């Protein structure tokens, strides 16, 4: 057995091997030690190998999914090794023959199908990246992308550049990424792979071989050529072939019901880079949770498929006004018919996730409940198609298309599943009992014999008691002897002597009892046992037949699943719009960005939950003014806590919502399609990559200034605050000028540098805006209202007081502020001499006599020759001692 384990393990060195032994998956050697630590299970030992104990641990087969989930979450890959023959067949080769085993699948983060291992509202993508350098002018080459969700069949491809690769991967958000080993080992890309937040798996470069890529795809789909799927570039074809090769390897011969690959044109999508996604908290907050994100605030879907589609749309907003308007029309349709919408959502809530059930059945991993999920989904689809057919949806193309897809589902399949499946269904097909009575006559006969065995055995026991006169005689059963007759020891003679001795055959003697069998009992046991096995075999046959009929209709079922998801998302947007008073945005090809009464969708709901004051709505107008051809820049000043960042983010989120085809939190919104959205908000470091907070800020700002164009929307908050005041002010000043003259983007720029407001005198498209505040009895009241003008105070000390700083600190801060404001026109050296005790000797030193030669004070020379920004703490301390020494000299 250990020879067999070592042989199978050698073929799967990069996986933990779950080796099936009876009711457990066992792990040995290093696998056992790894799994024991990762899962917190007991590590034992069994036998010897090369003179040392063999480490061993195991998990029950019935609970394997829970352990797999933990291992996958920790980044492990698992090879599941099952028995591939009946133990009885192995015994025919010899009493000590080992049962044949083999790996039936590889479990990796990107190839999960089990319901318990998947998140209902999140797609589970496997992505593949390859690079083509020949025939391109780009020194980095052209990158091909392919991404597959084998749990639903989605298969998409695209082409990208190195500059966009990170943003595209952030949009797809795969659970696992495969690249060729050559690309993975490329030194120029080593840092790029390390920065990714998901598993990166190097695979043989043959997976992406361009010479055989098209043939591999064609073989997988059983077609002569892939031309019917569309025209793909070399990079796209190679990436698709690599993804398919990995799926074939991990599924070991099973073919998931993948859609043919379709191209996703990134040019028709809003480009949103990873930093912007994180800053705007589209799908998760900066802390990694869903609560507080945009999707958490707007998700009103009632199905897992709808939640996944909403997340996908939120990750990839459209940049095509016509497609956006189609989605908005569907939302408007359901907003106008509340009765139909309620019926739809009630029917959807009862519809299972049929696309994932279909995938499991196609991969021979499904169970009776997956069959029932298909049946329930077909029932819901038929009902929805019926009442949608009664409504006039001609103005909503998405609804019309969905209705057609639902109507195309085959009724005979639904009827067959309804007739075949029992009401109570087991989890596993091996348990049997999932076929309804009356569906197969031969199955009913075998079940009757199996289920009536208790009555038959009871009748036989009563007859034996009458014939022998032993009232305590029992007919019992165990897994070793099967059925047997048992009497107490003092009655044994009655069965071993006389006329009954020929009938009762001795089997076993116990301390207080004796066991017998009869020819009649043995024959009855064989019939009962055979009936149970034959009944289970018939159920397995029916299961396979139903699976075959379902997979034959896979395309229609997947189309229906997509249609249900689209309806769910459209109806959920209508529910959101009605509940939150959202409005339909106007989206076109222009450069407009006019928002009236805009609100932050997440903050508004949070305030309502806390029973605080209602959210204060604000306007924003960033589109070209009369006679101008480019967007405007709003320079927003005001104190901390007043709402500048909220105002910036809400306008970015309104653009995102509009371009996914949802209604927006505003009274009126007119948005010219945003092709690229950039956001630089908040402060964070990246110490793992050697980047300080300021460096991260500058890297993100550089990306914006190097990429933004006239159709972009740029959100910048507090640029330059991470460094010295004059450096930061200079950077912010230059960045605004660059945005105005070079990028010419629609922009919102929040700052505490009030000096920047002077730029409005020289930059025609720069508009000063500020957040209104009011001082009352020494405190500051934030009105959260954006108005034209510039702030003249930062109110930082008031905010510090609200935060709870000690009163002594607040009082001292006011004193220092007063001194600084009094001397704000003096040079830094003059301020030090006037205000710091260390320089009191310099301040009090008498002036030299008239005509006497003047010599520069050594302390001032030391100050002039030093650069505080470059001093280490030790160097600063040494400088302080030198200054003190010079001051002591007088």
Binding residues for ATP: 638-645
Count Cβ atoms below 10 Å from residue 322 Cβ, excluding itself. Answer: 9
Q: Can you give the C-alpha Rg of the chain in angstroms? A: 37
Identify the CA nearest to 663 among candidates 327, 359, 322, 360: 327
CA 144, distance to chain mean position in Å, is 22
Q: Would you call 868 helix, strand, or coil by DSSP?
A: helix
Largest CA distance in the chain: 150
The answer to whether 727 touches 702, Cβ cutoff 8 Å, is: no
Query: How far from 608 is each of 170, 378, 406, CA to CA, in Å?
Result: 32, 40, 39
In angstroms, the CA 749 to CA 732 distance is 9
Residue corresponding to tokens 């059983």: 222
Positive or negative CA dihedral for 623, 628, 629, 635? Answer: negative
The answer to whether 762 touches 647, Cβ cutoff 8 Å, is: no
CA 853, distance to chain mean position in Å, is 76
In angstroms, the CA 17 to CA 26 distance is 8
Q: What are the helix and strand counts (H, E) for the chain?
A: 33, 27
Identify the CA nearest to 297 among candidates 580, 108, 526: 580
In angstroms, the CA 383 to CA 418 distance is 15
CB burial readout 485-518, b (16+ within 10 A) else e: bbbeeebbebbeeeebeeebeeeeeeeebbbbbb
Which burial class, exposed, middle or buried, applies to 118 when counting CB atoms under 10 A from its CB (0-12, 13-18, 19+)? buried
CA 342, distance to chain mean position in Å, is 29
Residue 817 region, left (φ>0) first, then alpha (ψ -120 to 50), else beta? Answer: alpha
In angstroms, the CA 300 to CA 574 distance is 9
Contacts of 84 (CB under 8 A, 6+ apart): 100, 101, 102, 104
Identify the CA nearest to 620 among candidates 658, 641, 588, 592: 592
Cα angle for residues 264, 265, 268 (degrees, 5° grid): 120
At 574, which helix (H) or strand (E)?
helix 554-580
Taking each helix axis from N to C end, the angle separating 354-362 and 368-389, rounded to the nearest 10 degrees, works out to: 140
Known binding-site residue numbers: 638-645
CA 479, distance to chain mean position in Å, is 48
Q: Which two tokens stand for residue 232?
A: 């793909």
In angstroms, the CA 644 to CA 310 distance is 28
Q: Which two tokens stand for residue 69?
A: 């989930």
Identify the CA nearest to 172 among candidates 9, 346, 311: 311
Q: Torsions phi, psi of 749, nearest 5?
A: -130, 110
Q: What is the DSSP letter of 293?
A: S
Q: Would you call 134 helix, strand, or coil by DSSP?
A: coil
Pairing of strands 668-672, 593-598: antiparallel
Contacts of 830 (CB under 8 A, 6+ apart): 823
In angstroms, the CA 419 to CA 362 distance is 21
Pairing of strands 16-21, 78-83: parallel
Identify the CA nearest to 373 among candidates 431, 420, 435, 417: 417
């Amino acid at each position: 057995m250990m020879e067999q384990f070592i042989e199978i393990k050698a073929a799967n060195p990069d996986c933990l091997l779950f080796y099936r032994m009876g009711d457990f998956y066992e792990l040995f050697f290093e696998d056992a030690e790894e799994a024991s630590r990762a899962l917190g299970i007991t590590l034992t030992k069994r036998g010897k190998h090369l003179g040392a104990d063999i480490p061993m641990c195991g998990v029950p087969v019935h609970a394997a999914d829970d352990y797999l989930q933990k291992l996958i979450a920790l980044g492990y890959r698992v090879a599941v090794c099952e028995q591939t023959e009946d133990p009885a067949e192995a015994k025919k080769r010899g009493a000590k023959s080992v049962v044949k085993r083999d790996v039936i699948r590889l479990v990796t983060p990107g190839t999960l199908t089990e319901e318990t291992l998947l998140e209902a509202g999140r797609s589970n993508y496997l992505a593949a990246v390859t690079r083509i350098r020949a025939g391109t002018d780009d020194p980095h080459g052209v990158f091909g992308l392919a991404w597959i969700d084998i749990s639903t069949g989605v298969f998409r491809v695209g082409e990208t550049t190195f500059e966009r690769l990170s943003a595209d991967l952030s949009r797809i958000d795969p659970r696992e990424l495969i690249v060729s080993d050559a690309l993975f080992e490329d030194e120029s890309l080593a840092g790029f792979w390390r920065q990714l937040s998901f598993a990166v798996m190097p695979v043989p470069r043959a997976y992406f071989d361009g010479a055989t890529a098209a043939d591999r795809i064609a073989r997988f789909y059983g077609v002569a050529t892939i031309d019917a799927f569309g025209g793909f570039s070399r990079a796209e074809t190679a990436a698709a072939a690599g993804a398919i090769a990995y799926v074939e390897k991990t599924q070991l011969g099973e073919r998931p019901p993948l859609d043919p690959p379709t191209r996703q044109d990134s040019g028709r999508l809003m480009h949103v880079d990873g930093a912007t996604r994180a800053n705007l908290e589209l799908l998760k907050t900066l802390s990694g949770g869903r609560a507080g994100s945009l999707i958490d605030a707007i998700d009103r879907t009632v199905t897992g498929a709808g939640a996944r589609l909403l997340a996908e749309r939120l990750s990839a907003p459209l940049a095509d006004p016509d497609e956006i308007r189609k989605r908005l029309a569907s939302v408007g349709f359901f907003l106008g018919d509340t009765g139909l919408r309620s019926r739809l959502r009630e029917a959807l809530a009862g519809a299972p996730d049929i696309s994932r059930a279909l995938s499991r059945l196609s991969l021979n991993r499904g169970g009776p409940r997956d069959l029932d999920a298909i049946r329930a989904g077909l029932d819901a689809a038929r009902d929805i198609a019926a009442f949608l057919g009664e409504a006039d949806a001609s103005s909503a193309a998405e609804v019309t298309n969905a209705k057609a897809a639902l109507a195309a589902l085959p009724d005979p399949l639904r009827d067959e599943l309804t007739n075949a499946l029992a009401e109570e269904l087991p989890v596993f097909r091996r348990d049997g009992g999932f076929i309804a009575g009356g569906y197969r006559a031969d199955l009913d006969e075998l079940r009757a014999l199996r289920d009536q065995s208790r009555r038959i055995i009871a009748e036989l026991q009563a007859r034996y008691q009458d014939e022998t006169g032993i009232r305590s005689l029992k007919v019992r059963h165990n897994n070793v002897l099967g059925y047997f007759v048992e009497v107490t020891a003092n009655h044994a003679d009655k069965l071993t002597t006389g006329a009954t001795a020929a009938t009762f055959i001795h089997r076993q003697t116990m301390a207080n009892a004796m066991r017998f069998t009869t020819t009649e009992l043995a024959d009855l046991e064989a019939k009962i046992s055979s009936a149970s096995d034959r009944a289970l075999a018939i159920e397995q046959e029916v299961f396979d037949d139903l699976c075959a009929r379902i997979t034959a209709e896979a395309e229609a079922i997947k189309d229906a699943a997509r249609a249900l998801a689209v309806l769910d998302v459209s109806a959920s947007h209508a529910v959101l719009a009605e509940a939150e008073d959202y409005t339909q945005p106007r989206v076109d090809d222009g450069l407009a960005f006019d928002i009236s009464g805009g609100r932050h969708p997440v903050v508004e709901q949070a305030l309502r939950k806390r029973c605080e004051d209602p959210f204060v709505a604000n306007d924003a107008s960033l589109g070209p003014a009369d006679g101008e051809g480019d967007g405007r820049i709003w320079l927003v000043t005001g104190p901390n806590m007043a709402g500048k960042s909220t105002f910036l983010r809400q306008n970015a989120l309104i653009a995102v919502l509009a371009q996914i085809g949802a209604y927006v939190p505003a009274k009126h919104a007119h948005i010219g399609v945003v092709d690229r959205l950039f956001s630089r908000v908040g402060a964070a470091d990246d110490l793992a990559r050697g980047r300080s907070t300021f460096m991260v800020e500058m890297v993100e700002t550089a990306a914006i200034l190097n990429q933004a164009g006239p159709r972009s929307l740029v959100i910048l908050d507090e640029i330059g605050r991470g460094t010295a005041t004059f450096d930061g002010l200079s950077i912010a000043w230059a960045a605004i000028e660059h945005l105005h003259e070079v990028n010419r983007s629609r922009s919102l720029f929040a700052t505490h540098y009030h000096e920047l407001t002077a730029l409005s005198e020289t930059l025609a498209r720069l508009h000063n805006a500020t957040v209104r505040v009011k001082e009352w009895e020494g405190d500051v009241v934030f009105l959260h209202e954006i108005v034209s003008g510039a702030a003249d105070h930062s109110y930082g000390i008031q905010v510090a007081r609200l935060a709870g700083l000690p009163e002594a600190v607040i009082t001292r801060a006011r004193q220092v502020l007063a001194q600084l404001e009094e001397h704000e026109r003096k040079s830094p050296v003059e301020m030090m001499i006037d205000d710091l005790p260390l320089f009191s000797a310099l301040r009090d030193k008498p002036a030299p006599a008239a005509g006497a030669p003047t010599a520069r004070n050594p302390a001032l020379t030391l100050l002039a020759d030093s650069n505080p920004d470059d001093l280490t703490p030790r160097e600063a301390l040494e400088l302080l001692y030198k200054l003190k020494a010079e001051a002591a000299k007088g």
